[in-house]
Chain A
């Protein structure tokens, strides 16, 4: 029983990180109908930035918010300087550009910071306050941060004029332009937000998985799976998908099939769910007008 509870909680903690990544993916998808393969590497680079600041003596939370802000700017800049050049190009061409970004960032990070693992501090006190070691304070904190971020994103899109304008630009760019929304700027903001959310994911993940240039590879995959499972056009769904994937993965490994093929099994389950429900568990069914 101890083990089961433990597996569940540990799964939820990792799930919260998958949820953040899934959120970042969903943001860019909503704005551009594209899936950014370089999302994980961008988050990794942001995390190194925060790490460098903390090494230089910047207090944790200052480094945290500075990193989020800088990531926002860099994300928007990547959209403006790189991605926009491919406006109107075939989808797969843009996918190749993402792959290009992925390998560039990964390689440069390895060169700058080496492949050795670095410890990344947690902002949450390192005392096992939650008894019996079920869940560490950092894991609790990561879950909390994810939930707060989700609420913020929801409020942003629901209640702010900018959020509304972004939704309009994504759903119907032509009409949005007609009512005076700068669609280009909205896209850049969308990218910036995604990069910022990714940065949070990286900073929450690093204390658990350690910081290294390949840190986000596996996490990005589970993030994809989470976004798919939950529905790629729905932030709530994506977040729920993240928690689900985290738990599913742990349970499959521990109780179902053993660790050697748990990745395959988790993926198979996800594909299975999609076949039954092609737009994800919480996704909207898109009806095409002929």
Chain B
């Protein structure tokens, strides 16, 4: 039995060798890599309160299955071991240790959730196991200085909020803003983003903050509260169900603010349609992906490819679910990194290539969007474009905003 330490030492020696020799080198491959297979791991909330996101893991497994049927990456098949953590950080730690120490995966990919990823970040960095493309919009996961083995993926919620704040500053400087936010790290990041931009004027600009818990049945009461605060601008930092409730209730009570809707809940089919399309006209969002239910992308080749994949490998899954598009895009990015690695699949090389994406285009992201990473940039998706809902689709306007 090869102990973990021996492997780490081998990895370290490989890195030292790399420093002296030019690419391609013969550094020891990561654990879990054989001539025919690359074993990678992740945890997902298949059970528990966040089980709606479990579909991301299933999509990624299905995508790798497709890649494997097409011959794999450089002749190796991708074997994704996706374990349930029930969105409980202690369980995440346990499962990630199982993946690293027992299953001997090469690295972890797209593990879901801010708290679960926070809980395992120290462990993975200490053991020099890449924690790639974490599935959370918390900005702290792009910290290449302190956590060189952890890389983010999504544009951060904070960045998104800053984009909205700047837009408000330039188009509606005297806005009175009401915010509905989920009472957790996701929702609170939007408040932080607004504070970043408004500074001491935050108190004057934001007239009301109302929060909700995911265990609450409705946010009706919060909407009435926000309306009566006199706000004329409304930022909705809520997950799909609550966002739909908020959009509908705001309209029904006759409140007509300028609405900014978080990217998390911008799905036409899964949020705006349930809320009532006519009730969402004029809402703004920051987009980075192609929303599959938006008629704009009806004939788009990227979305067509996605549909083809869906019909063959995810038959029966919902084609309105944005989480699936997200998982699809993340898996494509992952495959690109492995392709770039070529024959050298040491952990160092994998990390190096993850930090070496150059203008990579993902077919389900907005046209013109390019993924770039470098040793000093661990946030692959940094661009967004504002869009306004016209009753049918999101109409993009302005340029891609580099955050």
Contact = CB atoms under 8 A, between A and B. Distances in A.
Interface residues of B, number: 36
Nearest to A212: B241
Contact of B274 (A115, A117, A214): A117
Interface of A: 2-3, 6-7, 10-11, 14, 17, 103, 107, 110, 114-119, 128, 132-133, 136, 205, 208-210, 212, 214-215, 217-219, 221-222, 249-250, 253-254, 258-260, 263
B221 A218 contact: no
Given A11-B221, A115-B55, 20 more contacts: A3-B224, A3-B228, A6-B228, A6-B253, A10-B221, A14-B220, A114-B317, A115-B51, A115-B52, A116-B240, A117-B271, A119-B273, A132-B254, A210-B245, A212-B241, A218-B215, A218-B217, A259-B221, A260-B183, A263-B216
A6 B218 contact: no
A205 B220 CA distance: 13
Contact of B222 (A17, A128, A132, A259): A259
Contacts of A11: 221
A6 B241 contact: no
A44 B211 CA distance: 25
B101 interface: no
Contacts of B224: 3, 6-7, 10, 254
Which one of A221, A250, A259 has the greatest number of beta carbons of chain B within 10 Å? A259
Given A133-B252, A209-B245, A259-B211, A118 B220 contact: no
B168 to A, nearest CB: 22
Interface in B205-249: 210-213, 215-218, 220-222, 224-225, 227-228, 240-241, 244-245
Given A115-B52, A119-B274, A218 B216 contact: yes
A116 B321 contact: yes
A133 B244 contact: no
A253 B212 CA distance: 10
Interface in B315-337: 317-318, 320-321
Across the A-B interface, the 5 shortest Cβ-Cβ residue pairs: A115-B52, A3-B228, A250-B221, A218-B217, A218-B215
A209 B215 contact: no
B44 to A, nearest CB: 13
25 contacts: A3-B225, A3-B227, A6-B224, A7-B225, A103-B47, A110-B52, A114-B317, A115-B55, A116-B240, A119-B273, A119-B274, A133-B253, A208-B218, A208-B220, A209-B217, A209-B241, A212-B241, A214-B49, A214-B52, A221-B215, A254-B224, A259-B211, A259-B212, A259-B222, A260-B183
Nearest to A2: B228
Nearest to B222: A259
Nearest to B210: A259
A253 B221 contact: yes
Contacts of A215: 217
A10 B228 CA distance: 14
Contacts, number: 98
B240 A217 contact: no
Given A107-B51, A116-B321, A212-B241, A10 B210 contact: no
Interface of B: 47, 49, 51-52, 55, 183, 210-213, 215-218, 220-222, 224-225, 227-228, 240-241, 244-245, 252-254, 270-271, 273-274, 317-318, 320-321
A214 B210 CA distance: 22
B221 A117 contact: no
B52 A259 contact: no
Contact of A133 (B241, B254, B318): B254
Nearest to A106: B51
Contacts of A253: 221-222, 225
A218 B245 CA distance: 15
A89 B98 CA distance: 37
B222 to A, nearest CB: 6
A2 B220 CA distance: 15
Contacts of B253: 6, 133
Nearest to A214: B49
Contacts of B217: 14, 17, 205, 208-209, 215, 218-219, 222
B296 to A, nearest CB: 21
Contacts of B273: 119
A221 to B, nearest CB: 7
A208 B220 CA distance: 9
A239 B259 CA distance: 37
Contacts of B51: 107, 110, 115
A215 B240 CA distance: 13
A253 B215 CA distance: 15
A267 to B, nearest CB: 11
A128 B252 contact: yes
Given A116-B321, A119-B274, A214-B49, A14 B241 contact: no
A6 B225 CA distance: 9
Nearest to B229: A3
A250 B218 CA distance: 11
